[in-house]
Every structure is written in C-alpha cells, then in structure tokens.
Amino acid sequence: MITTKKGVMAILTVMALTLPMAIQAEEGEKSEAWLTSLKTDTPQAGFELAIKLSRMGVKITQPDKDILFREREKYAGDGEALIHASEVVAVHFQTVAAANNYWQ
C-alpha cells in the first residue's frame, strides 16, 4: 500500500498520462465519444467538466467496479488522499479554463 505523498502523486501522474490513451482505446470500442469539447458556457460548467474528467480517469484506469468501490472506502476517510484528488480536479480545471479563454 502506498502511503507517501510521492507515491500517491506518482499514481495520479500515471493516471493522468494514461488517460488519453485509455480514452482512445475505449472510443475505438464505442461509437459515441463522451468528450467532444472542452468548451463550456460558464466557469461552473467548466468545473463540473473538470470533475467528470477526473472521475472518468479513475473509471477508465480501474474498470473493475468491485475493486473501484473497495478502494474508495480506503481513501474516502484519508484527508491527504482527498486533497490529492482535489489537486487532480484543479489541474483539469486549469486545462478547461485555458480552453475557454478563462471565460472572458
């Protein structure tokens, strides 16, 4: 079990880097893409998209729902793990905000 900040960050980095490849692989299997644009009408919608990107990254990286839900119990009560999850959302939000010219 990885308990260090560096270990958690390494896992999150791997997940972030493998997300585009996983999405491409899944899109090849499915006819309908779930992410067609990073453009949103408002910052609120952009934040919601950032959360979806984060959740999809986890879902695609760990497609076994039993393992996914079992592991969620471990990090749901871990404040440091939740802060790291927030950091992933923040990185996605930065990307979405830049794609939307910061809604200006």
Decide: pTM greater than 0.95: no
Give the amino acid at 99: A
pLDDT digits (tens, 9 = 90+) for 64-91: 999 999 998 888 999 999 999 999 999 9
Distance, CA of 15 to CA of 63 (rounded, Å): 13
pLDDT-flagged residues of the chain (< 50)? 1-2
Q: Using CB atoms within 10 Å of the CB of residue 26, give its burial: 0 to 12 exposed, 13 to 18 middle, 19+ buried.
A: middle
